[in-house]
Chains A and B, each alone.
Chain A
Amino acid sequence: MKIAILINEGPYTHEATDSAYLFARAAIEKGHQVSRVFFYHDGVNNSTRLTEPPQDDRHVVNRWAKLAQDHNIDLVVCVAAALRRGIKDENLAPGFRISGLGQLIEAGIQADRLVTFGD
């Protein structure tokens, strides 16, 4: 099945992005396709390459990027929400791209399921 994911909260403050990541990984392990992850609201903060967690902690940004690279997931960061919060191409982590809200609607139309993680 084709599954899309919406993430509405940033890393570390909320569990939302961790839940979404573990859900996505499990979906892939079960043979499903995670077609797109859309980052909205403070969720755009999951995409900055300036993120530097302590070494003994998970790297939320990098593990999204790696999962996306390994399994061809489209990681889309909402442009309006991103610009409001200081996320631009110059500080965007590899594997992510900035685009419009239409990408969220399109993901909903094209995927079999859309699952939202947030606060």
Chain B
Amino acid sequence: MLHIVNKSPLDRNALDTCLATAQGGALLLIEDGVYAATTGNSAVGKLKQAMGQMKVYALKPDLEARGMADRVLDGVNLVDYGGFVDLVTEHATCQSWL
């Protein structure tokens, strides 16, 4: 399934709980969740570890809006809203970790 996280990992535990709960599948970072996909943040180890179990995507317009598009972690796949739609349709269910 597709897991969607929209919170900064330095502010809230949505990403933590998502990664501990998810049984594979894909992770899409949107809104403030995209900060998790950037280099140099202290929570970066969690995302790197997760990449072993699931495909990780981040919404490029949200990264660009935050001035963070030039420091995306290797291994994170960038998508636009069309790519977001594709991820939703390719997976049977999606869970937004609000």
Contacts and interface: CB of A to CB of B under 8 A. Distances in A.
Interface of A: 1, 3, 8, 15-16, 19, 22-23, 25-27, 29-30, 32, 112-119
A114 B1 CA distance: 13
A26 B80 contact: yes
Interface of B: 4, 6, 30-32, 61-62, 80-82, 84-86, 88-89, 93-94, 96, 98
Given A8-B98, A22-B61, A119-B98, A113 B84 contact: no
B98 A118 contact: yes
Contacts of B88: 3, 27, 113, 115
Contacts of A27: 85, 88
Contacts of B96: 115-118
